[in-house]
Amino acid sequence: MGRGKIEIKRIENSSNRQVTFAKRRAGLVKKAREIGVLCDAEVGVVIFSSAGKLYDFWTPKTTLPRILEKYQTNSGKILWDEKHKSISAEIDRVKKENDNMQIELRHMKGEDVNSLQPKELIAIEEALTNGQTNLRDKMMDHWKMHRRNEKMLEEEHKLLALRMTCISFCQLVKWSIIRACTMVAYGYRWLRTKSNLRPPAGRPEQRHEGDGARVPSG
């Protein structure tokens, strides 16, 4: 629609291309606005010139998030579902692990917790401290990595991945607290039933290196 018919193929003359781009861009946006008004539709147009400059148009009241939300609901599902599967499997795996832990825990409750020696206690404490630190670092790495490869449709993926990490973390913590508290409880109980000693009122004496639990400093 002009003085002459043109073939639809890349315009090689750069300044012609530039002019045509500006004209047609305006035309496209005008048409988008019109269909929006005439047909009561939500329309979005996003254009990047070959130079990488962004031009866009959205029907009024149509925010980007809104369009994208709808978009994702309508067309993102398939893409997402693929990612979803692998993560879901992983979460199932963790859940199963959790169940196993529950069983093991019930078993532990019947065992002789008092047979735990201070040395083992130190090891456990260190494991707790390190485990916590490592897991937190891991989580941070996870975040950083994901933020680098940031892509729209991986949003859900990320949330699930984080959720999974947190589930693992919660598992560790739950077990740790249970063990610690159980040991404390048995210790005190044993103390009260097997002797008439009462905790001293004063400040505990200086501890020696490696003698009893170390208090994590981080």
Partner DNA sequence: CAAACTATATATAATGC
Partner DNA sequence: TGCATTATATATAGTTT
Residue numbers 6-25 binding DNA by CB under 7 A: 6, 15-16, 18, 20, 23-24
Given 10, 12, 27, 177, the residue binding DNA (CB under 7 A): 27
185: partner contacted, choices a second copy, DNA, none (Cβ within 5-8 A by kind): a second copy
Smallest distance from a second copy to CB 81, Å: 15
State yes or no: residue 95 binds a second copy (CB under 8 A): no
61-87 burial, b if ≥16 CB within 10 A, otherwise e? ebeeeebeeeebeeebeebeeebeeeb
Classify residue 152 as exposed, middle or buried by CB count within 10 Å of its CB (0-12, 13-18, 19+).
exposed
State yes or no: residue 101 binds a second copy (CB under 8 A): no
The single-letter code of the amino acid at 5 is K
State yes or no: residue 105 binds a second copy (CB under 8 A): yes
The 42-61 site mask, x for binding a second copy (CB under 8 A), equals xxxxxxxxx-xxx-x-----
Neighbours of 91 (CB within 10 A): 15
Restricting to residues 32-91, which ones interact with DNA according to CB under 7 A? 34
- 59/162 Cα distance (integer angstroms): 35
What would you measure as the largest C-alpha separation in the chain, in angstroms? 108
Given 2, 4, 60, 199, the residue binding a second copy (CB under 8 A): 199
Instruction: Return left, alpha or beta for 60; rule: phi > 0 is left, psi -120 to 50 is alpha, else beta.
Output: beta
State yes or no: residue 213 binds a second copy (CB under 8 A): yes
Q: Which residues bind DNA (CB under 7 A)?
A: 1-6, 15-16, 18, 20, 23-24, 26-28, 30-31, 34
